[in-house]
Amino acid sequence: MNKKAKKAVIIGGTAAGISAVAAVTAYATTKTLIKIALDRKEPEILKKIQARISGKKENDFIKALNEAGKRLSEKPSETIRIVSHDGKTLVGHWIPQKNAKRVLIAMHGWRSTWSGDFGIASDAWEENGCSVLYAEQRGQDKSEGNYMGFGITERFDCLDWIAWVRERCGTDIPIYLFGVSMGATTVLMASCLPLPENVHGIIADCGFTSPHEIWKYVVNHNLHLGFRIRGRIAEKMFMNMLHAGSDKYSTLDALKSSKVPVLFIHGSDDRFVPVEMTYRNYKACVSPKKLLIVPGADHGMSYYISKDEYEKSITDFWNMYDNLSMPISKV
């Protein structure tokens, strides 16, 4: 073998070795990231990289959120347990109001809690005559399920919770689906499902478009890793765990067939879910829609940053659609 041939073999072998190491590394990091994303049990490493994944929040905001969450968790509530369409026991917390004007079904976000996400707004909801069913999303807290589905699986749970509300409160009271972050994606993905007539609207605060797109964004922009090979590996893992494709369904797909009004809310400075995703959701939505963008607000901070405008947008939305009694036309 001449020198050139030997050199080519050495270079080829080195390149193959590097590629093999890169593939093993990509698989290992992807497996860890999928555990972080989907597994009920929170991996220890998440504590170290949480701020990189979702962005570090202001201490004052975290303090306000924690204090409000504690107050909500300590309020008298009825613990509700239902069996979902696929046999999972789901847990919720029911706080009714006397002579309620409407019912909210509140879906919290990824690796969060019902009281943690909604405590900050719960007093205003009660003051406005809302009975609230705070759901614990599957795969989290006390609800069954080994994995979170980033809205792909949770969207169908909305129908189960709606059925419970209708049985408890009747079929005439207006129902609104309300979600934050992954909860927002959940309720948006439910927008094209066969919702009963007394579901009068959806409120979605900082939702993403699909598992595939939010993972790609976080991996590329927040973790500064390549996504191409990791995306392919993640897709296989997602399919194995949830028997669904991470890019086979999205809020955009659902909103193209939405039949209920939607209020979209997002902070302009969101470092976890880019505000562009809500702009795309808004554009895709074919039903009546409203949009609130809060300048300077990071992920889930819109209510904290602009309480008065946030509350006005929601009460205006309720006032517009509470008495809805006929098929909706486009606006």
Closest among 278, 216, 276 to 251, alpha carbons compared: 278
In the predicted model, what is the mean pLDDT of residues 231-258? 91
For residue 244, what pLDDT band results from cuts at 50, 70 and 90? confident
* Alpha-carbon span 213 to 206, nearest angstrom: 14
244: Cβ contacts below 8 Å, ≥ 6 apart = 149, 152, 153, 238
**CA–CA distance, 78 with 159 (Å, rounded to integer):** 20
> Do the strands 262-267 and 289-294 form a parallel or antiparallel pair, or are they unpaired?
parallel
Per-residue pLDDT band for 248 (boundaries 50, 70, 90) equals confident
- pLDDT score of 253 more than 90: yes
Per-residue pLDDT, averaged over 213-224, amounts to 95
Q: What is the pLDDT of residue 1?
A: 57
CATH of 57-210+249-321, picked from 3.40.140.10, 3.30.420.40, 3.40.1280.10, 3.40.50.1820, is 3.40.50.1820
pLDDT higher than threshold 80 for residue 324: no
Q: What is the pLDDT of residue 194?
A: 96
**8-state DSSP, 147:** B
pLDDT of residue 131: 98
Encoded amino acid at 4, one letter: K
Cα–Cα distance between 129 and 173 in angstroms, integer? 12
Residue 126 forms beta bridges with which residues? none
Per cent of the chain over pLDDT 90 is: 80
| Model pTM score | 0.90
User: Looking at 6-10, 210-214, 229-233, which range is the least confident one?
Assistant: 6-10
pLDDT tens by residue, 165-180: 999 999 999 999 999 9
The predicted pLDDT at position 2 comes to 59
Q: Does the structure show a pLDDT above 90 at 270? A: yes
Q: What pLDDT score was predicted for residue 58?
A: 83
Looking at residue 281, what DSSP letter applies? H
Q: What is the pLDDT of residue 47?
A: 86
